[in-house]
Structure 1
């Protein structure tokens, strides 16, 4: 398996968390589960294989250009054949810079990005298939994203505000903190929740839960602490609280995660 993470150009760094490239080294099929990450993504499939995701108990083949909404519960996936992916990972709030729709509409779904972005992204996909050099592929994607930014000029200030709120809520999502942020920005808590959901796809408290869960994943992957230590360091009340919330987002216990996790899971789910 080949996996590379690439930083965007300086102009895009306020909007794009990063790019990644994945290529499987085998055509063997496998099953896995993707966990909530707090980020939306666009994925260009550039290989001969295919991906399937489970919805309402049935597996469906994903489109050639995938738009991943916010995933708030474990999502079963299948890989068939040899897959190559080029992914764009947004910040929790920054996907809203690139299209006009309410971000929350895409929660827990993998949509066809061409339905949202139109023929221009299909043209980009064709150009990416024609180009094998990763550096040149990244340049093509960056040019496309820079052009898309101008579409949402009118709401940039609101999205920037949500980004600032997300940063301030990252480690503290108490009611007192939400009220304090509302007062500071001269908006009601109800309107803050509405804006946050519109531009991130998540309610503030769910955003904080996913962020805490992701931090616990990093601690588990480091494999330097017992579960009790991970629970307290990640901000859970106790080990029981940690296990309960971990199962909510993964469908498995932390102990099972340590023995079952696959590389693709970390690629798609980890911050």
Structure 2
């Protein structure tokens, strides 16, 4: 397996966290579980392998062009065959710049992007399959995203507002009072919650919990601190609070996770 990350151009830097490629020459089947990252993704499958994701306790084959909605709970997946994939990872809010639908409708599912964006994204997929190298493929992605960004420019003001709110919440994670957050941005609590959900698929509380969970994953991966220290550094009340939240997002305890950090989960994290 080979994972690579690529930064977007200056134009798309505010909207795309990174691009990534995933190549696997092995046809070995494996199971994995994807955890909430707080970000949406688009994945183009360019190889012969297949993926399946769990939908209502049944595994369903994912489409050639995948739109990953917000994952808010553990999502089991299965892999078969050799893979060649190219992905776009957005920021928490920034997928909303490129879609006409409210983001919340995509939660906890993998959708066929061609059913949402139509012939334009089908053509892009064909071009990616025909492209001779990775640089050409990335250039095609950038061209497509810039065109979508221009076409949806009327959405920019609202989504920019969401970005400001989320950035302030990340800068001040100890401020969890929705009324105070809303007041500081000159809006009502009700409008703040509606605005964030429509453009991220998350409530302010869920955003805070996933952001805190992601911080804990990074600290666990370093393996430099005991769980109690990680819990307090990430803003949990105590270790039991940390473990309870961690299990809700992964299905396992932190100690079980540390011995089983999989390549796919490393890829899917911000």
The answer to whether the superposition gives a TM-score over 0.5 is yes
Q: Which residue of 1 aligns with 2:189?
A: 189
Segments of structure 1 that go 5 or more residues without pairing to the other structure are: none
- 2:135 is aligned with 1:135: yes
What stretches of structure 1 move > 4 A for 4+ residues in a row? Answer: none
- Are the structure 2 counterparts of residues 189 and 266 from structure 1 closer, same or farther at C-alpha, using a change threshold of 3 Å? same
Shift of 1:174: 3.8
1:220-258 per-residue CA deviation (whole Å, 9 max, x = no partner) reads: 111111111111111111110110000000000001101
**SS in structure 1 opposite 2:105?**
helix
Shift of 1:186: 2.6
TM-score, normalised with respect to structure 2? 0.97
Choose 195-204 or 17-26, whichever is displaced more: 17-26
RMSD after superposition: 1.1
1:10-37 per-residue CA deviation (whole Å, 9 max, x = no partner) reads: 0000111110011113110000000000
User: Would you say the 8 A contact 1:173–1:204 is kept in 2?
Assistant: no
Provide the rounded CA distance (Å) in 1 between the counterparts of 2:132 and 2:198.
Answer: 37
Q: Which residue of 1 aligns with 2:63?
A: 63
Alignment of 1:1-271 (within 5 A): 1-170=1-170, 171-172=172-173, 174-176=175-177, 178-268=178-268, 270-271=269-270
Provide the rounded CA distance (Å) in 2 between the counterparts of 1:156 and 1:166.
Answer: 15
User: Would you say the 8 A contact 2:35–2:71 is kept in 1?
Assistant: yes
How many residues of Structure 1 are paired with residues of Structure 2 in the alignment?
269
User: Would you say the 8 A contact 1:173–1:205 is kept in 2?
Assistant: no
1:19-62 per-residue CA deviation (whole Å, 9 max, x = no partner) reads: 00111131100000000000000000011000000011100000
- Are the structure 2 counterparts of residues 3 and 175 from structure 1 closer, same or farther at C-alpha, using a change threshold of 3 Å? closer
User: Would you say the 8 A contact 1:34–1:265 is kept in 2?
Assistant: yes
Shift of 1:181: 3.1
- Are the structure 2 counterparts of residues 223 and 114 from structure 1 closer, same or farther at C-alpha, using a change threshold of 3 Å? same
Choose 226-235 or 204-213, whichever is displaced more: 226-235
User: Would you say the 8 A contact 2:175–2:181 is kept in 1?
Assistant: no
Provide the rounded CA distance (Å) in 2 between the counterparts of 1:24 and 1:133.
Answer: 16
Provide the rounded CA distance (Å) in 2 between the counterparts of 1:159 and 1:86.
Answer: 26
- Are the structure 2 counterparts of residues 230 and 175 from structure 1 closer, same or farther at C-alpha, using a change threshold of 3 Å? closer
Segments of structure 2 that go 5 or more residues without pairing to the other structure are: none
User: Would you say the 8 A contact 1:33–1:74 is kept in 2?
Assistant: yes
